[in-house]
């Protein structure tokens, strides 16, 4: 059965690792009547974690999707990984959803990944709520966790459900909106009943806060609230819908998912007050590369974004699509804007975990799957014929951990490359490329765990033995002062000879300007038709510097004089002369090695701040600044890339696995002394090895 835009809600369940996201997802599907019983992570049979690597490691690695129906409303839930190594699937789920539900452990409070996810949601201005979990645990405290959320995020959550008791005395939750109590009923769905007398005052106070949140929905409701001191149930529902869609309040839910507690009122609230896809917008890129927001609109011509690609051993290639406008119908033709070609759409599906359910159409706001498309890939825009819409790609973080890889058996290299390309298509935070400069195949991702899982999967499924090592750094060379040189290329081989004379002057350019070529020849000392040969020779000379054969950057090259022969000169002669003149000039221009310096942002709990700062100092890091909020520190620094090749492992060791970081190239900086000597020595060793091969 297909659902129209007004009958759809999309929710991403996200949060720090081990906060119970997959457990909540499983129990939502159970309470919604989708599965006959809720399985545990230990059983290896949960709907959300279905891949062999997830079952073996008992963690979520991929986003899973499932849906329940409540009062004619279809609610799509996305169960997402908690580890920062798999943040790509969280981000694509945020893109597909109009509401995010952040899980917070009732014992531990707000943790570091939740802080990062909150910031991401702030950037998106995305409505969100919090589910305070595991309230049946003796150390759990609903009120204390709400206070922690308030301190860390400078907002006061609005309780929609309240716990009845805590720890061993926890017996269920109260739905403040619908004024009902839900009691734990063993392995069955929680049981509805009257609110116990001892909680009525707390419910009344919480309901007053909920009415205040609803009054924020629009000016008319606020006037009614001020005039009457309250709102009718219809006004309250209308206000809650509008205020949440505009992210004006943060609904807070209580529960213990393993005991099926807090699930039904959560589903009811989302069905009644969750943001409708019509309230959301997506972003398109114009031909001029400007970004414009467009509404999710079922009345406009069809358009959709491919948010994810997976490969299933039975169903083949699966392309997940978020429909932005109009509707997608099975057995039709669409236009792939990204590839500028028509796309035949066969069967379309929704899913419950890995189980596909065929549907005839998907309306704007819904998320579904197109199977067996040969050409569709993640970030492609699908639209009605000849559309100019082009949706902005998923905004994914840059990889932070890289490894050089090769197959032990040379015959397996091509096969390994094929499966690394597929892995990069399934997870867009994973990159695969061959570095021609260092002659290495380098894979990059969000952490050691992500990369190890991908390589283990290839080893197991494809029986390929793989070697890994730390990748080489792409150093550069430059010059420190002006210099000049001349070179005459002269060769006589019978018949026409080769002759070209070039005089060059070189000078340093500001860092990052790379290269500038100036033709300062007057009077035809070198004819114009040979100048391109001179520049080619300079560029060839710059490809391999004089210190360690690294590429040369940030140099101005001026050709000031030369000489030609009317018979023996040629473009080749001037290219060879210019290449040698450049190298001779560079040797006199104080050649200097440059290393890549990265912009590093580290997120750690404050108790690890000193250790992390000390470690960065030992890595030749330059601290640019730091901020702290609610016990989480953000450190900004510039650090040489050579010092960060194993930083994901180092940081995990320092912070007991809780720290995370983002890194991006910033600039090249000079190195000298022992560090430069070591780089040159390693490069010479590499060149000897390369020659032997």
The CATH number of residue 580's host domain is 3.30.230.10
Same domain, residue pair 434 and 458: yes
The pLDDT-based confidence of 494 (bands split at 50, 70, 90) is: low
Work out the angle at residue 260's Cα, subtended by the Cα atoms of residues 351 and 165, and round it to the nearest 5 degrees: 150
pLDDT for 396 beyond 90: yes
Which of 541, 548, 520 has the alpha carbon at shortest distance from 681?
A: 548
d(CA 397, CA 408): 31
Angle between helices 263-273 and 21-31 (to 10 degrees): 80
pLDDT for 178 beyond 60: yes
Same domain, residue pair 490 and 440: no
CATH number at residue 363: 2.40.30.10
Written as one string, the DSSP assignment of 559-604 is EEEEE--TTT--HHHHHHHHHHHHHHHHHTS-EEEEEEEEEEEEEE
Residue 583 falls inside a structural domain: yes
Question: Looking at residue 552, what DSSP letter applies?
Answer: B
CATH number at residue 431: 3.30.70.870
pLDDT mean across residues, the chain: 94
d(CA 446, CA 660): 10
What integer is the mean pLDDT of 5-19?
A: 97
The pLDDT-based confidence of 385 (bands split at 50, 70, 90) is: confident
Q: From its phi and psi, is residue 549 left (phi > 0), alpha (psi between -120 and 50) or beta? A: left
The pLDDT-based confidence of 631 (bands split at 50, 70, 90) is: confident
d(CA 351, CA 312): 13
d(CA 575, CA 541): 10
Residue 345 falls inside a structural domain: yes
pLDDT for 398 beyond 60: yes
d(CA 273, CA 196): 25
Residue 395 falls inside a structural domain: no
Question: Looking at residue 256, what DSSP letter applies?
Answer: B
pLDDT on residue 2: 82
d(CA 99, CA 573): 67
Q: What three-state secondary structure class fits 279?
A: helix
What integer is the mean pLDDT of 297-308?
A: 97
Maximum mean pLDDT: which of 98-102, 386-390, 495-499: 98-102
**3-state SS track over 349-369:** EEEECCEEEEECEEECCCEEE
pLDDT for 691 beyond 80: no
Same domain, residue pair 289 and 190: no
> In the chain, what's the furthest Cα-to-Cα distance?
111
pLDDT on residue 511: 92
Same domain, residue pair 487 and 445: no
CATH number at residue 642: 3.30.70.240
Residue 157 falls inside a structural domain: yes
What integer is the mean pLDDT of 89-102?
A: 98
Instruction: Give the pLDDT confidence of 521-552 residue by residue, as tens digits.
Output: 988 899 999 999 999 999 999 999 999 999 99
Residue pair 308/89 in contact (Cβ under 8 Å)? The answer is yes
Question: Which two structure tokens, joined as six digits, stand for 493?
Answer: 């081989």
Last residue of a domain, one of 589, 617, 642: 589
Same domain, residue pair 23 and 137: yes
Which of 412, 312, 277 has the alpha carbon at shortest distance from 5?
A: 277
The pLDDT-based confidence of 632 (bands split at 50, 70, 90) is: confident
CB neighbours of residue 300 within 10 Å: 15
Q: Please name the residue that has the structure tokens 């609005």.
A: 158
How far is Cα of residue 184 from the mean position of the Cα atoms in its chain?
38
Which of 664, 511, 685, 678 has the alpha carbon at shortest distance from 594?
A: 511
Same domain, residue pair 286 and 358: yes
Which of 200, 392, 182, 173 has the alpha carbon at shortest distance from 282?
A: 392
Q: What three-state secondary structure class fits 427?
A: coil
Q: Which domain holds residue 516?
A: 477-589
Same domain, residue pair 120 and 35: yes
Same domain, residue pair 502 and 529: yes
Residue 391 falls inside a structural domain: no
Residue 607 falls inside a structural domain: yes
Same domain, residue pair 556 and 572: yes
Question: Which two structure tokens, joined as six digits, stand for 541?
Answer: 């000379």
Question: Looking at residue 218, what DSSP letter applies?
Answer: -
Same domain, residue pair 317 and 415: no
d(CA 227, CA 229): 6
Lowest mean pLDDT, pick from 90-94, 170-174, 363-367, 677-681: 677-681
Residue 390 falls inside a structural domain: no
CB neighbours of residue 684 within 10 Å: 12
Pairing mode, if any, of strands 99-105 and 128-133? parallel
Hey, CA dihedral for 191, 194, 200, 203, is it positive or negative?
positive
CB neighbours of residue 509 within 10 Å: 17
Residue 217 falls inside a structural domain: no
What whole-number percentage of the chain has pLDDT above 90? Answer: 87
Which of 476, 631, 494, 497 has the alpha carbon at shortest distance from 549?
A: 476
pLDDT on residue 497: 87
Last residue of a domain, one of 544, 564, 589: 589
pLDDT for 606 beyond 60: yes
Q: How many angstroms separate the Cα of 223 from the Cα of each of 196, 217, 232? A: 33, 11, 13
d(CA 689, CA 681): 13
SS3 content of the chain, % helix, strand, coil (to 5): 35, 35, 35
**Residues linked to residue 605 through DSSP beta bridges, in sequence order:** 632
**Of all helices (H) and strands (E), which one includes residue 446?**
none
**Residues linked to residue 193 through DSSP beta bridges, in sequence order:** 181
Q: How many angstroms separate the Cα of 413 from the Cα of each of 290, 408, 440? A: 41, 8, 12
CATH number at residue 271: 3.40.50.300
* Burial profile 664-680: b = 16 or more Cβ within 10 angstroms, e = fewer: eeeebeebeeeebeebb
Number of compact structural domains in the chain: 5
Supply φ then ψ for residue 677, to 5 degrees.
-60, -40
Pairing mode, if any, of strands 8-15 and 99-105? parallel
Instruction: Give the pLDDT confidence of 570-593 residue by residue, as tens digits.
Output: 999 999 999 999 999 999 999 999
Same domain, residue pair 13 and 69: yes
Same domain, residue pair 83 and 181: yes
Last residue of a domain, one of 324, 349, 383: 383
């Amino acid at each position: 059965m297909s659902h129209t835009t007004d009958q759809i809600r999309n929710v991403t369940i996200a949060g720090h690792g081990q906060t119970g996201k997959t457990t909540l997802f499983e129990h939502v599907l159970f309470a919604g009547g989708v599965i006959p019983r809720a399985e545990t992570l230990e059983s290896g049979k949960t709907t959300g974690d279905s891949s062999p690597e997830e079952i073996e490691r008992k963690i979520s690695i991929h986003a899973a999707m499932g849906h329940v129906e409540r009062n004619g409303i279809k609610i799509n839930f996305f169960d997402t990984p908690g580890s920062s190594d798999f943040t790509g699937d969280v981000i694509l789920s945020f893109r597909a959803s109009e509401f995010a539900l952040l899980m917070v452990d009732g014992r531990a409070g707000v943790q570091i990944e939740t802080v990062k996810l909150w910031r991401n949601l702030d950037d998106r201005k995305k409505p969100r709520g919090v589910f305070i979990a595991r309230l049946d645990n003796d150390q759990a405290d609903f009120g204390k966790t709400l206070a922690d959320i308030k301190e860390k995020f400078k907002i006061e959550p609005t309780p929609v459900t309240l716990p009845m008791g805590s720890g061993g005395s926890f017996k269920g939750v109260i739905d403040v909106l619908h004024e009902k109590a839900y009691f734990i009923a063993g392995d069955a769905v929680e049981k509805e009943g009257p609110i116990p007398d001892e909680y009525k005052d707390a419910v009344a106070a919480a309901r007053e806060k909920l009415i205040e949140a609803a009054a924020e929905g629009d000016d008319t409701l606020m006037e009614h609230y001020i005039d009457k001191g309250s709102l009718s149930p219809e006004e309250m529902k209308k206000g809650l819908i509008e205020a949440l869609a505009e992210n004006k309040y943060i609904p807070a839910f209580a529960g213990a998912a393993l005991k099926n507690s807090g699930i039904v009122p959560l589903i009811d609230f989302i069905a009644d007050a969750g943001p409708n896809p019509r309230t959301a917008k997506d972003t398109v890129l114009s031909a001029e590369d400007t970004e414009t927001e467009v509404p999710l609109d079922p009345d406009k011509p069809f358009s959709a974004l491919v948010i994810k690609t997976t490969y299933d051993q039975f169903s083949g290639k699966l392309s997940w699509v978020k429909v932005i406008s109009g509707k997608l119908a099975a057995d039709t033709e669409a236009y792939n804007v990204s590839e500028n070609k028509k796309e035949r759409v066969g069967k379309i599906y929704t899913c419950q975990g890995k189980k596909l359910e065929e549907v005839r159409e998907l309306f704007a706001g819904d998320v579904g799957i197109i199977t067996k498309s040969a050409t569709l890939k993640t970030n492609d825009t699908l639209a009605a014929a000849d559309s100019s819409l082009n949706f902005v790609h998923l905004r994914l973080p840059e990889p932070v951990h890289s490894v050089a890889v090769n197959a032990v058996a040379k015959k397996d290299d091509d096969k390994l490359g094929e499966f690394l390309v597929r892995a990069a298509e399934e997870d867009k935070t994973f990159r695969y490329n061959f570095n021609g400069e260092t002659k290495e195949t380098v894979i990059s991702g969000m952490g050691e765990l992500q990369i190890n899982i991908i390589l283990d999967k290839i080893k197991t499924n494809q029986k390929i033995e793989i070697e890994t090592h730390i990748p080489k750094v792409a150093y550069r060379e430059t010059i420190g002062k002006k210099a000049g040189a001349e070179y005459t290329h002269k060769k006589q081989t019978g018949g026409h000879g080769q002759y070209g004379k070039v005089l060059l002057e070189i000078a340093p350019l500001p860092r990052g300007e790379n290269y500038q070529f100036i033709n300062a020849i007057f009077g035809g000392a070198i004819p114009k038709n040979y100048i391109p040969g001179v520049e080619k020779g300079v560029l060839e000379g710059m490809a391999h510097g004089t210190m360690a054969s690294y590429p040369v950057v940030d140099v101005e090259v001026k050709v000031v004089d030369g000489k030609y022969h009317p018979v023996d000169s040629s473009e080749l002669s001037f290219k060879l002369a210019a290449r040698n003149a450049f190298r001779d000039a560079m040797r006199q221009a104080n050649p200097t090695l440059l290393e890549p310096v990265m912009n590093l942002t580290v997120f750690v709990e404050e108790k690890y701040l000193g250790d992390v700062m000390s470690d960065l100092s030992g890595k030749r890091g330059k601290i640019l600044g730091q901020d702290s909020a609610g016990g989480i520190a953000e450190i900004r620094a510039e650090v040489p890339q050579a010092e960060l090749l194993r930083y994901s492992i180092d940081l995990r060791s320092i912070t007991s696995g809780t720290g995370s970081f983002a890194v991006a190239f910033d600039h090249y900086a000079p190195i000298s002394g022992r560090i430069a000597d070591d780089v040159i020595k390693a490069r010479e060793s590499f060149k000897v090895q390369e020659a032997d091969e």
